[in-house]
Structures are given as structure tokens and as C-alpha cells.
């Protein structure tokens, strides 16, 4: 029974066979059995099985009765553009979307962006705090072409499954206003990007129909999803969501199209909001939010009730857009809950589900939970229950990804 612990030669990780004595979602003490990176059984904790410390032999890990959550899902990241791990970079340039685009284009080269080392740094920090799957937008433009996507793929591969990533080929500098970008997005999709992105079709390209038609043509041709950044608020934003709904239905892309930010949805008066949200649900549109301070919060309950799945993401983490962000999805879950006015236990659990189990669809997973058949992605925290974990965001005691221990006691092992 006691065979040598299975340490991967390349790093300090341990392959898990049993994660014993944990409380999934704050429930009864359980043992999670793992094989091939997948949860194969969830059984009541067997207190009589031998244990003598945190790591026992042969991949048996003692969870010490800690609360277990599924691996956290960052449904909206930009892991190609962070300067995490580098000396402080002071904020500069002009504000607003256009101002930040110009500032980034002027200074990214000197920071080595995009680059494998910077992407690895921010991914490692994310893993340390329990994120095991990411949907990342990656800049595709006339300057870097598809190099950013190659960089992100290389960094993710170097981490050996500690985090998985889906890529959105993201036209940060505009689509139609930069002739050639549409071809780059098409090439990215042909080369394996899971989604093509867009950006404020009205205010950046000043041609919402043109940008969206271009994106949908690629999605239909290449069989990829669409994930559009939409900062435009009020009626202008709502109008573009309506254009997206129309095209989604016509292209039969239900379940494949996401609106990121979508501030307009939170700003509309309730009757118009209800109408729009219902139409989004019927078209299988999803949304991602970064829980921004100062914007009208999305109506999370109305969206979920209408069948509009909502994912939570960090947006940029310490980059040329903003010095803020840590990549800690659980801390961001606290922020989402606060901004949404969540106080009841069931609402706080909903916030945790948005950041984990309910977000599998944003990272290409049919099931992402502490259940048989799910990837063995588990985060342990010392918390009484899920609401306690959400409001306090305690240190991640253990992070398991793909059946390997990838972080322990605040230290990343990959
Ligand atoms: Zn973004």
C-alpha cells in the first residue's frame, strides 16, 4: 500500500491517488479518489485508513478536514500582457480604451510583452491562488501577429497541466479600422484558437454591423466561438447585443457566443433589461464579468434565471492598462459578491459557483465540479463553509490540478 510518493521529475508536484478527509462544498467529510487526472470516486471519509501527515505515501494526501472547492476558473484573462514578476511599471499615458491601447502599443516591447517568461509568471501566481483553468484573450494585431498566442501556448505547455487555457484571438487594436486584422483572426482560428474576439464594434471600428459580420463569418467558417469585449453602455451597448443575438441565431451558434463586460446590461431600466436578458437566454449567449468597481453590476440572478451563464474573470492583471489585479479569483469572488449586494448564504454559494463549477463551459469543460468524471482540480481552504470562504478568501492550503498537487501552503510547485 505504501509505495514511494510519485514525484514528477520535472518539478515538485505529487500525483494524487486519494485526497482524503476533505469537505466538498462544505459538506460531509469525504475521500476523493483520483486516477488519470480525473475524479473516480467521492466516498465518505474513512477515518480508519492510515495517515501520518499532510502527504502520505503513494499519492495519498490528507486534507485535514479542510473545505474543498473545484479549481477556480478565470473566464476572462489577458495572460499575454501582464508584467507580473517584473520591477514596478508606473502607470502612464492617456485614460479611456483608446488611450490605453495606444500606451500599450508604445511600451509593450520594452517589457518583453508578449513573452513566455511574463506569461509564466502570471500563470504561476494564478495557480498559487487556486486557478486551474483560464479563458484568456490574447492580443492579435498588425504588430505582433499571432506571436502572442504561440507564447501563451508555450507557457501553458511548460506548466504541464497545472492550468489549462482556452484562447480568444483578441483584436485589441480594432478589427475593420486595421485592415489585415480580420485575416489574422481567421488565421488564428485556423491555427487552433478556440474563439475569436471583438472590441466595441461601434466605438472602436465605428461599424458595428461590419465588425460583427466579419467575426461571425470566421466563426462559421472555422467552427470557433466568439467572445466580444463590449464596454459600450446604455442603448448603444444594448443595440450591439441585439446585433449579436440576431447573428448568433442565424448562424446557429447558440452556446458559443460570449459578451464580455456588457456594462449596458446592468445600466438598462428594468423592463428593457428584462427583455434583453430573455433574448440573450433564448440565443444561448453567455456573459463574463470582471466585477468592476464603479460600473453598474450585472443582474446576476436575472441572467442566470434566464439561462445566461455568467463567468468571472480578472481581466488584465498588473499590466499597461492598470497596476491593479492579483489574479486571485477567490478574492475577486468576494468583490463580485459585495458589488452584487450578496449577503444570504445561498447567494454567496452562487458567487462561488460562478467562479468555479458553473464556469466549466467557459474553458471547454462539460463538467467541472467535485464529482465523478470531473477533472481532478481541487482547492482546499481553511473555512467553516462556502459563505465563509467567499467573504474571507483565505489562503489556499492546497491546489490540485489534473490530479497533481501544484501549490501548497501558498507556494506554487510548478
Ligand atoms: Zn478584457
C-alpha of residue 263 to centroid of ligand 1, in Å: 13
Which of the four pLDDT bands, split at 50, 70 and 90, describes residue 12? confident
Computed over every residue of the chain, the mean pLDDT equals: 95
Predicted local distance difference test score (pLDDT) of residue 24: 98
C-alpha of residue 231 to centroid of ligand 1, in Å: 10
- Using the predicted structure, report yes or no on whether residue 9 has a pLDDT greater than 80: no
Contacts of 100 (CB under 8 A, 6+ apart): 93, 94, 320, 321
Whole-Å CA distances, 225 to 1, 146, 168, 281, 356: 46, 18, 8, 17, 21
Over the stretch 311-359, which tens digit does the pLDDT of each residue have? Answer: 999 999 999 999 999 999 999 999 999 999 999 999 999 999 999 999 9
Q: What is the mean pLDDT of residues 127-132?
A: 98
Which of the four pLDDT bands, split at 50, 70 and 90, describes residue 375? very high
- Cβ–Cβ < 8 Å for 289, 310: yes
Distance of CA 94 to the CA centre of its chain: 28
- Using the predicted structure, report yes or no on whether residue 4 has a pLDDT greater than 70: no
Which of the four pLDDT bands, split at 50, 70 and 90, describes residue 3? very low
Over the stretch 142-173, which tens digit does the pLDDT of each residue have? Answer: 999 999 999 999 999 999 999 999 999 999 99
The 3-state DSSP class for residue 123 equals helix
Predicted local distance difference test score (pLDDT) of residue 56: 47
Predicted local distance difference test score (pLDDT) of residue 48: 80
C-alpha of residue 191 to centroid of ligand 1, in Å: 22
The residues whose Cβ lies within 5 A of ligand 1, an ion, are 315
C-alpha of residue 289 to centroid of ligand 1, in Å: 9
C-alpha of residue 78 to centroid of ligand 1, in Å: 6
C-alpha of residue 77 to centroid of ligand 1, in Å: 6
State what percent of residues in the chain have pLDDT above 70: 95
Which of the four pLDDT bands, split at 50, 70 and 90, describes residue 212? very high
C-alpha of residue 159 to centroid of ligand 1, in Å: 23
Residue 317 to residue 89: CA distance in whole angstroms: 12
C-alpha of residue 385 to centroid of ligand 1, in Å: 31
Amino acid at each position: 500500500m505504501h509505495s514511494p510518493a510519485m514525484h514528477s521529475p520535472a518539478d515538485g508536484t505529487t500525483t494524487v491517488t486519494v485526497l482524503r478527509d476533505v469537505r466538498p462544498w462544505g459538506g460531509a467529510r469525504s475521500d476523493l479518489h483520483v486516477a488519470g487526472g480525473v475524479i473516480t470516486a467521492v466516498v465518505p471519509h474513512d477515518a480508519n485508513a492510515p495517515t501520518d501527515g499532510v502527504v502520505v505515501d503513494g499519492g495519498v494526501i490528507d486534507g485535514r478536514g479542510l473545505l474543498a472547492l473545484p479549481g477556480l476558473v478565470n473566464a476572462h484573462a489577458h495572460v499575454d500582457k501582464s508584467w507580473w514578476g517584473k520591477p514596478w511599471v508606473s502607470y502612464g499615458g492617456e485614460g479611456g480604451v483608446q488611450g490605453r491601447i495606444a500606451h500599450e502599443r508604445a511600451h509593450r516591447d520594452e517589457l518583453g510583452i508578449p513573452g513566455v517568461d511574463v506569461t509564466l509568471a502570471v500563470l504561476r501566481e494564478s495557480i498559487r491562488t487556486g486557478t486551474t483553468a483560464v479563458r484568456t484573450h490574447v492580443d492579435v494585431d498588425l504588430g505582433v501577429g499571432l506571436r502572442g498566442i504561440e507564447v501563451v501556448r508555450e507557457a501553458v505547455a511548460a506548466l504541464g497541466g497545472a492550468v489549462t487555457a482556452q484562447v480568444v484571438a483578441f483584436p485589441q487594436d480594432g478589427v475593420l479600422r486595421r485592415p489585415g486584422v480580420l485575416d489574422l483572426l481567421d488565421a488564428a482560428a485556423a491555427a487552433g484558437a478556440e474563439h475569436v474576439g471583438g472590441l466595441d464594434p461601434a466605438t472602436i471600428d465605428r461599424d458595428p454591423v461590419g465588425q460583427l459580420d466579419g467575426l461571425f463569418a470566421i466563426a462559421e467558417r472555422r467552427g470557433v466561438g466568439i467572445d466580444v469585449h463590449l464596454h459600450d453602455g446604455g442603448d448603444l451597448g444594448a443595440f450591439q447585443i441585439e446585433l449579436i443575438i440576431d447573428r448568433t441565431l442565424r448562424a446557429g451558434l447558440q452556446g458559443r457566443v460570449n459578451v464580455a463586460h456588457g456594462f449596458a446590461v446592468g445600466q438598462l431600466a428594468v423592463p428593457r433589461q428584462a427583455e434583453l436578458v430573455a433574448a440573450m437566454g433564448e440565443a444561448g449567449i453567455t456573459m463574463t464579468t470582471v466585477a468592476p468597481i464603479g460600473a453598474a453590476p450585472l443582474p446576476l440572478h436575472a441572467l442566470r434565471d434566464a439561462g445566461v451563464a455568467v463567468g468571472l474573470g480578472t481581466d488584465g492583471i498588473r499590466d499597461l492598462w492598470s497596476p491593479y489585479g492579483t489574479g486571485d479569483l477567490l478574492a475577486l469572488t468576494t468583490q463580485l459578491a459585495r458589488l452584487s449586494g450578496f449577503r444570504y448564504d445561498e447567494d454567496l454559494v452562487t458567487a462561488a459557483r460562478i467562479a468555479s463549477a458553473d464556469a466549466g463551459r467557459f474553458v471547454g469543460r462539460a463538467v467541472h465540479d467535485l464529482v465523478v468524471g470531473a477533472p481532478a482540480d481541487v482547492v482546499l481552504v481553511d473555512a467553516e463553509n462556502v459563505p465563509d470562504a467567499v467573504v474571507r478568501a483565505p489562503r489556499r492550503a492546497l491546489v490540485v490540478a489534473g490530479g497533481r498537487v501544484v501549490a501548497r501552503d501558498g507556494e506554487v510547485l510548478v
